[in-house]
């Protein structure tokens, strides 16, 4: 059953009072490096409705299971925005950097068939049964079609090392390169710690590790999303 009109009006006003307007987000240049207008609009919409969910549940003073849902939803949605941004950058603005090319080479593995006698030699040298072995080789392909095979945390490392590469291309001195690297590292390390909780989207992961995120973690996810965008805007 829906809220009564007065209740609905009050809740809508309460929630919208604390949500950044489109004008404010444009002023922040949030995700401005996403050149595809349709994709950027979708990211901004997800960013906003994630905030709306948070403010609504905050207003209800959510506890127990509802609080857990509030936290989990925010982390999953904010981290999905960041991962999309990583994929976009690797596939577009950063695709010709050395770091991205090396990352994509490592991502491509192709199963190889060996002659039975050769496979037997390899198995014996490893003291393993032939049926236990899967022989693969790296594909010398630097395209981003294998992007889905890369772990989220490795994508973050790729972005971090790419930004270092771009700094060096600008002929910054070593001191400046390291200072900028250390400043970015704080944001990226925080994102990587949140990836652990993002993986709780898989219930088996959450139940096996029995480690739950907190409201503080969900607020960190919100800040990390904004900080990641601001960091990239310095380069793109």
Angle at 80 between CA 74 and CA 83, to 5 degrees: 140
Instruction: Specify the pLDDT at position 223.
Output: 96
d(CA 50, CA 185): 25
140 pLDDT exceeds 60? no
Residue 111 has pLDDT above 70, yes or no: no
Q: What are phi and psi of 125, to 5 degrees?
A: -65, -25
- Helix then strand count (H, E) for the chain reads 10, 2
As a whole number of angstroms, the distance between CA 224 and CA 78 comes to 8
Cβ 161 vs Cβ 89: under 8 Å: no
Q: Is 44 within 8 Å of 30 (Cβ atoms)?
A: yes
Residue 87 has pLDDT above 70, yes or no: yes
What is the pLDDT, as a whole number, of residue 125?
82
- Predicted confidence (pLDDT) per residue in 14-69, tens digit: 888 878 888 999 999 999 999 999 999 999 999 999 999 998 888 888 889 889 88
Nearest-angstrom CA–CA distance, 216 and 191: 13
Over range 145-155, report the average pLDDT: 85
> For 6-26, how does the pLDDT look when each residue is reduced to its tens digit (9 = 90+)?
888 888 888 888 788 889 999
């Amino acid at each position: 059953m829906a809220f009564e009109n007065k209740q609905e009006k009050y809740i809508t006003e309460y929630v919208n009072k604390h949500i950044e307007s489109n004008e404010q987000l444009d002023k922040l240049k949030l995700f401005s490096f996403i050149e595809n207008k349709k994709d950027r609009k979708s990211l901004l919409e997800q960013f906003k409705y994630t905030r709306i969910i948070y403010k609504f549940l905050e207003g209800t003073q959510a506890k127990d299971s509802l609080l857990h849902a509030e936290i989990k939803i925010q982390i999953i949605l904010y981290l999905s925005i960041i991962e999309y941004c990583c994929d976009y950058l690797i596939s577009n603005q950063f695709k010709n950097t050395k770091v991205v090319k090396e990352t994509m080479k490592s991502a491509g593995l192709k199963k190889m068939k060996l002659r039975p006698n050769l496979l037997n030699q390899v198995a014996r040298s490893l003291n393993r049964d032939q049926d236990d072995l899967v022989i693969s080789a790296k594909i010398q392909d630097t395209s981003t079609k294998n992007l889905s095979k890369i772990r989220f945390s490795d994508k973050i490392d790729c972005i971090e090392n790419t930004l270092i590469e771009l700094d060096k291309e600008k002929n910054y001195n070593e001191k400046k390169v390291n200072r900028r690297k250390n400043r970015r590292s704080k944001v990226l390390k925080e994102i990587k710690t949140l990836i652990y909780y993002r993986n709780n989207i898989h219930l088996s992961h959450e139940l096996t590790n029995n480690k739950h995120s907190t409201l503080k973690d969900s607020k960190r996810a919100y800040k990390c999303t904004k900080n990641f965008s601001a960091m990239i805007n310095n380069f793109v």
